[in-house]
Amino acid sequence: MSQTDPELLLRELGGWDWELCRRELPAVLPRLLSMYQECEDWTEHIRVLRILTEMFLPHISLEDLEQTFFSKVLPKTLQLFDNLMYELSSEAKGLTSHSTELCSTVRNLLQTVVQLLETLTGCVRSVCSLRECVPLGSVRSLPASVLYVVKNTFTHCRDSESVYCGHLHLISDLLQAMFKETYSLQKQLMELVDMISMGSASTEDNITDIVSMIHTVLEICSVISNMDHALHANTWKFIIKQSLKHHSLLQCHLKHSDILGGLCKDTLLSFDSCLQLAEQMKVSEIQEGTDLRLFQKTVKLCRFFANSLVHYTKEFLAYFSDCCSQLHQLFLQIYSKFPPSLYAPEILEVHREEISRVFLVALDPLINQLLPFSPFMEQVLSEKLGLPPEQQLPQCLLLVTIMDKLSSQPEEVQTLWNTGKSLSLFSALFFSFQQCPGELSLPVCLPEVVSTGQPAVPITLYHYVCVHLCSFIASTLPSHFPQLEYALLDAVLGSSMITSLLAMDSWCFLARYGTAELCAHHVHVIAHLLKAWPSDCYQVSALGVLLRRLLFMMAPDHQVEFAHKFLPEEVENLAVWQHVSLRALNPDLRKQVAGQLCVAALAQCRRWLNSRRALGELPPVNTALSVLLAACTFADDTLEAELKASVLGVLSQFWTLLQAKQVSDGPCLQQTLCLLLHLLEFFIQALDAQLITQVFALQSSLFQLDPPDHVRLAMVDFLSSMGKVFIPQEAQRQVVPQLSCLFASLLADQTWLIHQHALEAFTHFAEETSHEDVVPQCLNSEEAKNKVVNFLAKRRQVEETRVARVERTKQERITWSAQALQGDGELESTGEPLAKRACHPPSEEQYKSAVGSMEGAVEAVKLLLQKGPPPAWLAVKLEALHAAIATLRDSTR
C-alpha cells in the first residue's frame, strides 16, 4: 500500500475486495479521512467520499459510526455542498443560450451536486442495511446534515425559474436528476429514522435532536408544497409518524402551533387546487383525461391532510390552546370557498359531491375531537370575531354542525357550549344567522333529508337552520333552559326581522314539544312584557306576533286561566288583547272575550271623544281601536248587530275630527288613521254618502303631504275593499275622481312594496266593482296600463341572471353592513333620529288628487248645510277660501 502518493493509494484501493477493506480499515481509514479534509478539487472530493462510504463505512461498528466517521466526514461534506450551491447560483445568473462555456460550467456543477447526492444516499443506505435498531447517538449528525442538503436542494429546484433567468431548457435534464436524487435521499433518510431507537429514558440531547429534525422536515414541507403531491404527502406522513412515535418524549418540546399551522396551510392549498381544477373542467366542458385524474389525486391529497389533522389533534389537543384560531379559520375558509357560499367558484355537481364524499367527510371527525376543548369553544363563540362577509355563512353552518353533534356528547360538553363564556351556543347562532342577509334573501339552498328513507332535497338556509335548531332544542337539557330562553327572547326583540322570525318559529316548536305548563308560563311572561313595554317600541310588535302564535298552542284550560288573569273588560289589559287572535280560543270563550273587549274598547274611545281630545291622550285610544280591529278580524261572526252598529257609530265620530295637516305631522294620528281605515273595511257596505265623502276627502288631502309608507299601505287596502261598494249617487261626483287619482298615484309609487300592493289592490277592485267606468280612469298612462297587464299576465319586467343576482346580493350585504354599523353608532353616540327623507317634486296625479280633495270638501260642506244651519264663522271662512283660490288661479297664468 502506497504511503506517500494519494493518487496511487486511491488507484490501489480500486482493486481491493470486501474482505481486504475490512482487514485494512484501521490503517487506511485515518489516511482517507485526512485526504478528504485536504481535498480542494470537487471531483476529487466526491471520489474520496464515495470510497469512504462504499468501501469502508459498512465495516465500521454501529457504536463507532458517529465518533469515527460521521463527525469527521459530514462537516466537510456540508462545506463542499455550500460551495457548490454558491458557485452554481453565481454562475447561473449569467447563463444564456449563446454562452457555451458558461453553460458547460453550470452543467458540470449540477452533475457534481447530483453525484454528491448519490453518494450521500449510498451512505444512508449503508446504515440502513444493518437491519437493526439504530441508537440515535450512533448517527447523531447524519439526519441533520442530510436534511440540510435536502432542504437547500429542494429550495434551489423550487426557485430554479428565477435562478436560471428563463434558461431552464439548457439544464432541465440535470435539474430533474437533482430533484430525483434529492427525493431518493430524503426517502432513504426517512427509512433510517424509522430504525432509530430512543428509549423511554432518552437524554435531553436525543430529544433536542429529534425535535430539531421534525422541525426541519416541517420547513421542507413548506418548500415542496407545490412541487410533487406524493413527496409532499410522504413528508407530512413522516412528521406525523415521528411525532406520534415519540409522543411521550416530544409532546412538551414540539412547536405544535407551527406543525398545526403548516397542516392547515397545506390543506387549504390543496383544497384551492381542487377547486381550480374543478372550475377549469366546468369552463372547458372536459370531464375526463389528465385534468380529471389530477383532480382526483388532489382530492385524495386533501383527504390525507384531513386525516393527518385528525390524528395529530387526537394526540396533542392539550397543547392547542393558542392554536384554536387556526383550526377555526380552517373550517371557515374551506366552507367560504365551497357551495352554497356566494363566494364559491362555479363547479359541477359531480365534482362537488366528490369533494364532499372524499375530503369533507374525512374532516368532519375533527370537530368531534374539538368539542370538549374549552379554548376552541371560546374561539368559536367569541363576540369579537370580526369576520369578513364571505365567512359569515360558514360560521353559521359551523355552529349548526356543532349543534348536531352536541346531543351525543357527555353532559359536561353540552354544558360547556350551552352556557358559554361570553355567548351561549344559542345566542351565537342567532347572531351569526343575522349576519347572512344576502344568503337569506337570495336564498341559498342546502341539502337536507326531509323524509326518512328519501334522498336529500335542497331547502333554503332559513329552513335548514330552523330544522336543525329545533332538533337541538329537543335535546337540550332542562338545566340549560335559562340560556335557551334568554337567547330566544333576545333574538325576538332584536332589530333583524328574519332573525326574530327564526326565534319565534323555534319558540313555537318549544311550546309544542314541551309541556303545556311551559307554554302557559311563556305566554304569561310575554303578556306581562307587553303590558309593561311602551306601545311605540318596535319590539312590541314582535312580542305581539309571538303571543298570538303561542296562544294557539295553549291547552283550553290554560286559555281560560289566561282570560281570567288578563280580564278583557279591564282597560289596562287591552294592550295585551290587541295582539291576540281570538280564533285561538274555543267558540264559547271567543264570543265572551270578543264582546267584553268591544265594550271596553268602545268605552275607552268614547271617553276620549267626550273629553278635550288631547293628542297626548291618543295612544290608549289607538290601543282600543287595535282591539276593535282584532275583534272584527277574528271574531266578526260572534259580534251582535247592536255592538257592530255601536262600533261604526264611534268610527264615524273620529272622521269628523281628523285633519290632513295634523295627521301628516303626528305619528300617533297616522296610526289612528291606519286603524280607522282597516276597521272601515269590515263595515264598507254600511257606509253612508257623507262618511265616504269624508274618508276620501281626508285621504286625498293627506296624499298631497307625502304620507309615510305605512299610511299609503293602509290606503291601498282600503281602496281594494271599495270594489264591494256601490258609491251613492250624491257622492260619486266627488269620490270617483278622488278614487281614480289615488289609485293612479299609488300605482306610480316608486316604493316597490307599495307598488306591488297597489297592483294587487287595483286588480281586486277591478274584478269586483260595479263602477266599471272608474277602472280606465285609474290607468291614466300607458306605463300604468302596461304594468297592470304584465302583473295580470304574471310577466316579470326584468329577468335577472343568477350571476347578476349573486353579485347584487354581495353589494347589498356591503351596504347593509355599513348601515348597520352607522345605525348602531348613531344610537350609541347621540340617540338622534334619522333625517327625514327628501320630498319628490309634485306629479300630475298629486295635483289632480289635491283638486279632487277641494271638490270633495265643497260637497261635504253642502251636505252639512242640508242637514242644519251653519255656524256664524262659516261665511267669513268661505270668503277667505275664495280669496285664496283666486290667488292660486292667478299664479297658474
For the segment 117-176, what is each residue's pLDDT rounded down to a tens digit?
Answer: 999 999 999 888 876 788 888 888 999 999 999 999 999 999 888 888 777 888 889 999
pLDDT of 671 higher than 50: yes
CA dihedral sign of residues 576, 579, 582, 586: negative
Share of the chain above pLDDT 70, in %: 92
Q: What's the pLDDT tens digit per position in 350-384?
A: 999 999 999 999 999 999 999 999 999 999 999 88
Cell of 685: 257596505
Cis peptide before 340 (omega within 30 of 0): yes
Q: Are strands 445-448 and 134-135 parallel, antiparallel or unpaired?
A: unpaired
For residue 197, give the 3-state DSSP assignment: strand
Q: Who contacts 543 (Cβ-Cβ below 8 Å, separation ≥6)?
A: 492, 493, 526, 529, 530, 533, 579
Res. 837 pLDDT band, cuts 50 70 90 = very low
Read off φ and ψ for residue 566, nearest 5 degrees: -115, 80
CA angle, 252 then 256 then 259, to 5° = 140
Residue 859 pLDDT:
63
Residue 544 pLDDT > 60, yes or no?
A: yes
pLDDT at 228 over 80: yes
> In which band, very low, low, confident or very high, does the pLDDT at 849 lie, cut at 50, 70 and 90?
low
For residues 636 and 155, the model is more confident at: 155
pLDDT band for 818, please (50, 70, 90 cuts). low
Q: How far apart are CA 182 and CA 152, in angstroms?
A: 10
d(CA 662, CA 781): 32
Q: Does residue 204 register a pLDDT over 60?
A: yes
**Residue 533: is its pLDDT beyond 60?**
yes
Q: What is the pLDDT of residues 455-478, one digit of tens each?
A: 889 999 999 999 999 999 999 999
Q: What nine digits make up the cell of 828?
A: 350609541
Q: pTM, whole model, 2 decimals?
A: 0.82
How does residue 819 score in pLDDT terms, banded at 50, 70 and 90?
low
456's CB contacts (< 8 A; 6+ apart) are 447, 448, 449
pLDDT-above-90 percentage for the chain: 57
Q: What does the DSSP assignment read for 443-462?
A: T-EEEE--STTSPPEEEEHH
- Whether residue 81 contacts residue 110, with contact meaning beta carbons closer than 8 Å, is answered with no
What is the C-alpha separation between 456 and 470, in angstroms, rounded? 19
pLDDT band at 672 (very low <50, low <70, confident <90, very high): very high
CA 130/CA 61 separation, integer angstroms: 10
H or E element at residue 370: helix 361-370
Lowest pLDDT segment from 593-607, 685-699, 838-852: 838-852
| CA proximity to 312, closest of 380, 381, 374, 255 | 255
pLDDT at 805: 74
Kindly report the number of other CB atoms within 10 A of residue 228's CB atom. 15
Helix (H, G, I), strand (E, B) or coil at 199: coil
Instruction: List, in sequence order, every residue forming a beta bridge with 445; answer none if it has no partner.
Output: 460
Average pLDDT of the residues in 679-697:
92
Confidence of residue 229 (pLDDT cuts 50, 70, 90): confident
Q: What is residue 586's predicted lDDT score, i.e. its pLDDT?
A: 92
Largest CA distance in the chain: 149
Query: Grid coordinates standing for 702?
Result: 293627506
Average pLDDT over residues 861-872: 71
Q: How far apart are CA 300 and CA 262, in angstroms?
A: 18
Q: How confident is the model at residue 772 (pLDDT cuts 50, 70, 90)?
A: confident
Say how far apart CA 702 and CA 715 lie, in whole Å.
Answer: 11
Stronger pLDDT, 85 or 800, i.e. the higher one: 85
- The whole-number pLDDT of residue 828 equals 40
Higher pLDDT, 792 or 142: 142
Contact 611, 584 (CB under 8 A): no
Task: Give the span between the Cα atoms of 338 and 352, in whole angstroms.
Answer: 8
Closest CA to 669 of 708, 631, 632: 708
State how far the Cα of 626 lies from the Cα of 577, in Å rounded to an integer.
Answer: 9
Which are the contacts of 866, defined by CB distance < 8 A and separation ≥ 6? none
- Cα gap 153→132, rounded to integer Å: 30
Q: Give pLDDT tens digits for 383-423.
A: 888 899 999 999 999 999 999 999 999 999 999 999 877 89
Per-residue pLDDT band at 6 (split at 50, 70, 90): low
Report d(CA 417, CA 777) in Å as an integer: 64
pLDDT at 852: 58
Q: How far apart are CA 491 and CA 324, in angstroms?
A: 28
Between 154 and 880, residue with greater pLDDT: 154
Q: Is the pLDDT of residue 94 over 80?
A: no
In tens, the pLDDT along 19-62 reads: 887 887 887 888 888 888 877 788 888 888 888 888 888 888 88
pLDDT exceeds cutoff 90 at 888: no
Q: What is the mean pLDDT of residues 196-219?
A: 84
DSSP 770: S
